[in-house]
Amino acid sequence: MIILIIVIELIKAMKKTKIGVIGLGYVGLPLAVEFGLKFKTVGFDINNKRLNQLKKGVDITNEVNSEKFMNSLKKNYLSLEDDILKLKDCNIYIITVPTPIDKNNNPDLSPLLKATEEVAKILSKDDIVIYESTVYPGCTEEDCIPVLEKISSLKFNTDFFCGYSPERINPGDKKHTLTNILKVTSGSNKKTSIFVDNLYKQIIEAGTYLAPSIKVAEAAKIIENSQRDINIAFMNELSKIFNMLDINTYEVLKAASTKWNFLNFKPGLVGGHCIGVDPYYLAQKAKQIGYNPEIILSGRRINDGMSTHVVNQLIKEMIKRKIDVSEAEILILGLTFKENCPDTRNTRVIEIINQLDELNCNITVCDPVADKKEVFDIYGLKITNSIPRKKFDCILVAVSHNQFKLIDFSNLTRNKSIVYDLKGIISNFNTITL
């Protein structure tokens, strides 16, 4: 009977729902568009350039269906703002800002806390604040809620409520998109939990999983990426061993994958805003409670060292083939942190470029999906989107974009040229691999 009463109240509340999405990047924009098809929704971002593009229906991340996006805007269900006061009449706030690390690999909560402060300024009685940013277990309740209480002068779980529903967006993946990935939800009390879960059910076709607490939901998300990081680190360590044994790592993995329960991970560079970052959040929390997370940090050390390993392997091969390192013409294929995705955040390829640049190599970087202006603004690096028409001493296939699989490398190489295929995607040319 109590549950029935709660559900009836939730249905009434749902009809009055107006949603504010804080942060319109890879996570926030798809969320705002989907909610904007069913509820009055306001998307907020402090990046005016990004907002101006979005208001014209242009999304450089390519994460949203353009037809859906335009429908949200045209129906006037979705509006885009850079003034937090324009969100004052919202009653649901969803925070989707990045949670990066600093130069010492320590969690940097400043974007999250700044967004929390902005929401706290306009928070009203009975509002719900939902966090989607990846954090360590306890962050929402220990770091964010005190900020909401202090600035709003409202009392948590009496005057306002919170939820946590971790993002599971996979940038560049057109199969596993927001609506068809099962969504974990949680809330600060039973009534809020049910409301948050039902709210996401309005847009998530794959369904939802209601976690028993916010901390459980936070922990579930952080271990998803930590698990991948550790498995990739194992593959990277294997690649080093097999390289010394003169065994092709990808041939080994191909053979091993014939067993039904073999996990299909591959070696490579680990960058981006999730897998290369999130384990440090969990590691810091573990240290705070007096536990040294050996496996997590060991995996991070291996993966963080792969760019240097690649450069060392490349230099050894150049010396073996009597290629003058300081005069070498090198083509780097791919700059983004993953295949078929324009996102260059925290890409490890830039570390390879910088190390080769210190050796005075002549470097050309080609990435058909990266935004040239954005790359220059972030890294001060000029790239091309087209395959150059010249021959190189070394070609490094750093990212497995689909376009690279079609290249005729005989047009780009000389007799003693090196083609170093980090991703094992080239089958029609003699390459060296991790």
Rg (CA), the chain: 24
136 within 8 A of 106, measured Cβ to Cβ: no
Active site residue 162: no
Name the H helices within 104-213: 110-122, 139, 145-152, 190-201
335 within 8 A of 344, measured Cβ to Cβ: yes
The two three-digit tokens of residue 139, written as one number: 């962050």
Given 139, 144, 162, 274, the catalytic residue: 274
First-to-last alpha carbon distance for the chain, in angstroms, is 61
Give the distance, in angstroms, between the CA of residue 323 and the centroid of all CA atoms in the same chain.
38
The SS3 of residue 418 is strand
Give the distance, in angstroms, between the CA of residue 257 and the centroid of all CA atoms in the same chain.
27
* Strand-pair partners of 94: 21, 130
Report how far residue 122's alpha carbon sits from residue 143's, in angstroms, rounded to the nearest whole number. Answer: 19
DSSP letter (8 states) at residue 142: I
Smallest CA-to-CA distance from 422 within 393, 394, 400 is with 400
Phi/psi at 397 (5° precision):
-85, 95
Smallest CA-to-CA distance from 182 within 141, 140, 224 is with 224
Report how far residue 423's alpha carbon sits from residue 337's, in angstroms, rounded to the nearest whole number. Answer: 12
With tokens 């300024």, the residue in question is 121
Residue 268 backbone class (left: φ over 0; alpha: ψ -120 to 50; beta: rest): left
Show the 3-state SS of 183-213. EEECECCHHHHHHHHHHHHCCCCCCEEECCC
- Indicate which residues carry an active-site annotation: 274
